[in-house]
A and B are shown apart, each in its own frame.
Chain A
Amino acid sequence: MSSLIPAEFFVRVDHQRCRRCKRCVMNCGFGALSFQDRVVADHKKCVACHRCATFCPEGAITIEKNPLAYKESGHWLPEYRKNIMKQAETGGMLLTGMGNDRPYFSYFDHMVLDACQVTNPSIDPLREPMELRTYLGSKPSALEFEEAPDGVRLKTQLAPQVKLDTPMVFGAMSYGSISLNAHRALARAAKEMGILMNTGEGGLHKDLYPFSDRIIVQVASGRFGVNQEYLNHGAVVEIKIGQGAKPGIGGHLPGEKVSQEVSETRMIPLGTDALSPAPHHDIYSIEDLAQLIYALKEATNWTRPVSVKIAAVHNVAAIASGIARAGADIIYIDGFRGGTGAAPTIIRDHVGIPIEMALAAVDDRLRKEGIRNRVSLICAGGIRHAGDMAKAIALGADAVAIGTAALIAMGCHVCQKCHTGNCSWGIATQRPELVRRLDPELAAEHLCNLIRAWSLELKEILGALGVNAVESLRGSRERLRGVGLSRVDLDILGIKPAGR
């Protein structure tokens, strides 16, 4: 029986303007368009990725929401009805891609930054130096110096540090969930801009070895592609415990996406399912986590910072404290808006907490325990612009990770169909004819532009705040005010309401 679910979108082709070049037909990764004397759309297959509309030379295509799909209801939203119909037809869990798209309250949108007026001069970042450099790694509680023949020398032995030219890294996205060309672009841009890319849990393709000093290599529960050579090719080694889009849930790369190259990179046979169990089965406690952290430090001869990535969940502050005490150098916290290549919709949309709350709680807890210096905090999960970044830094982040924003810079139109592997933009796909569409050089250029633009904006914000280094904003919650937040919200965020 064919599906009775109404189409979500209509593909409108203006046949007056269409010159039948069939470019749209070739460009659709989802098979929604065909040519039968003229362009014909199978509306049900359209996901609104806008590839056809973008590349139509005549501008003859528009994508519309199906206006009459469902009778209005404030409770039984069209989304829910469509999902129930789909599940009634298949009996399966719903899968989705990218981050939580539900209209939850945004704390970022209810916080504003301070600026200098009259009594405390602002700084013009165009004329005066403005420092964005950030070092990721554990910092000592105190520094000791000693006399040396050539003057004074630092006696304290510093833990390994990794330099960022601007307080941003690319979020963890595996080769498998995204294409090799997307990985190439991220690596190039990371190198060019002095930041880091993150392999995710799918291993590191040999083509990216030249970018080793700009790569975070992940070790997840499936240990795909993890061997000594892999660990040696990372500037940071990261233990992936959780992901904001699917806290407590493992990963599952279906065999269809395990192509020859993916198979070589993950070191698993061609076409087999790559299952990442939900937990690391050697980690059931903070002590077990410490064991793996130190195993990785041993394996890399104590030359790399070890990061631990977790999803923002209810107890995140206590968990982060445990992670810091377990010997991690970096904690990467991914909020409930964080993206994914594939996750059950029900988990993505209903599990985890906002990054703003998680970050404030973690920073606060670590400070109160006197161990904030032991770890760098990377926060992620829905950072949309330099304003979000500046607010996150003021709440206590050392750096932010951007995943979805980076994908959009490469061409992603956020259609949330990453899990299908049909990405028309050549990003979240392994189909060779689609992957070819993404020019790694051009995509890297766009990524560099984005990083540059956000860095300029961050400098403007810092200048307005009257500080000349991003360090001066870090954890400076006095520079934030809440608008329309409850007392409890303000208390957790550690900020005052506007007007106070």
Chain B
Amino acid sequence: MMQIDARGMYYRDLNKMIKEAAWAGETEFILDNVNGQRYIGTGVDRKVNITINGVPGNDLAAFANGPVITVNANAQDAIGNTMNDGLVVVHGLAGDVLGYAMRGGRIYIKDDVGYRVGIHMKEYRRQVPVIIAGGRAGDFFGEYMAGGIMMLLGLNRKPGQPLAGDYLGTGMHGGVIYLRGEVAAYRLGKEVAVFALDDGDEKTLQKYLGEFCDCFGLDYNQVREEKFCKLVPVSHRPYGRLYAG
């Protein structure tokens, strides 16, 4: 195990230290006093565990390919940018543009998330990315989504508060978004429609939402007490008839 006191450390030095040790075979990292250092876990393609005590900076786990990262605080923007594989668990809230063009791995955020979360998420063969946010989301949740699974739970939602912002699933042409509770129709992108869950969806929820609940000590059945629905694109070719040829 490698424990690093990151107080005042330049991000390049911190990340170099982690990568060099990981490449040399170290698999357990504990980073204390992290305070805004960017790019932690970026480009890490090993199955290592990184525990972050403090708030990591932007682009946590960008281009990551395998690390398991636990953040015991809030996190910032662009977590899992173009992530290929791995798991990020944030015991708090997180910022904008999470999981941009993410192709694999899972991002679990305990509380709220910002704007444009899951934008351009895609899946390929056995790689199916997953983002679950326990709180509420800003505008453009799942924008341009081309594949993968997103869930928005609103566990902290107070009466009258919306689950998500506007333009939910705008431009979506693949994948599925599960919502706990309802969203006003005017908030939905015009490329999506609401459907009831089927047996396949139940399995998906059990697998990933079950894992999410385990991460944060939640009771799965209790979370499921409120009704879930799903958003899927009405067309896989939303932009098929734009051109004269």
Footprint of B on A, CB under 8 Å? 86-87, 89-95, 219, 221-223, 226-228, 231, 252, 254-255, 267-269, 272-273, 275, 277, 281-282, 291-292, 294-296, 298-302, 344, 420
Q: Are B59 and A291 in contact (CB under 8 A)?
A: yes
Q: Are B124 and A298 in contact (CB under 8 A)?
A: no
Q: How far is the CA of A80 from the CA of B159 in the complex (A)?
A: 58
Q: Are B39 and A90 in contact (CB under 8 A)?
A: no
Given A273-B236, A277-B120, A420-B245: A298 touches B173 (CB 8 Å cut-off) = no
B58 interface residue per 8 A CB criterion: yes
Q: How far is the CA of A219 from the CA of B82 in the complex (A)?
A: 10
Q: How far is the CA of A86 from the CA of B237 in the complex (A)?
A: 23
Shortest beta-carbon distance from B107 to chain A in Å: 15
B120 interface neighbour in A223, A255, A294, A301, Cβ under 8 Å: A223
Footprint of A on B, CB under 8 Å? 12, 15, 19, 38-39, 42-43, 45, 58-59, 62-63, 65, 77-78, 81-82, 84, 97, 100-101, 103, 116, 119-120, 122-124, 127, 143-144, 146-147, 171, 173-174, 236-245
Q: How far is the CA of A268 from the CA of B147 in the complex (A)?
A: 9
B171 interface neighbour in A221, A227, A275, Cβ under 8 Å: A275
Shortest beta-carbon distance from A78 to chain B in Å: 17
B173 interface neighbour in A222, A254, A273, A292, Cβ under 8 Å: A273
Shortest beta-carbon distance from B192 to chain A in Å: 15
Enumerate chain A residues within 8 angstroms of B144, measured Cβ to Cβ.
Answer: 275, 277
Enumerate chain B residues within 8 angstroms of A275, measured Cβ to Cβ.
Answer: 144, 146, 171, 173, 239
Q: Are B174 and A272 in contact (CB under 8 A)?
A: yes
The binding surface of chain B is classed by DSSP as loop
Q: Are B97 and A282 in contact (CB under 8 A)?
A: yes
Extra contacts, 6 of them, besides A223-B120, A298-B39 (Cβ < 8 A), are A223-B101, A269-B123, A273-B239, A277-B120, A277-B144, A300-B43
* Interface pairs A-B: 7 shortest CB-CB: A299-B43, A223-B101, A92-B244, A90-B244, A267-B124, A299-B63, A298-B39
Inter-chain residue pair count (beta carbon < 8 A): 122
Q: List 14 A-B contacts (CB under 8 A).
A: A92-B244, A222-B101, A222-B120, A231-B43, A231-B63, A254-B240, A255-B236, A268-B146, A273-B237, A291-B59, A295-B59, A298-B39, A301-B43, A344-B243
Enumerate chain A residues within 8 angstroms of B127, measured Cβ to Cβ.
Answer: 267
Specify the chain A residue showing the minimal Cβ separation from B83: A227
Enumerate chain A residues within 8 angstroms of B245, measured Cβ to Cβ.
Answer: 86, 90, 92, 95, 420
Q: Are B239 and A94 in contact (CB under 8 A)?
A: no
Q: How far is the CA of A92 from the CA of B120 in the complex (A)?
A: 25
Shortest beta-carbon distance from B233 to chain A in Å: 11
A291 interface neighbour in B58, B143, B237, B243, Cβ under 8 Å: B58
Q: How far is the CA of A4 from the CA of B146 in the complex (A)?
A: 39
Q: Are B58 and A223 in contact (CB under 8 A)?
A: no
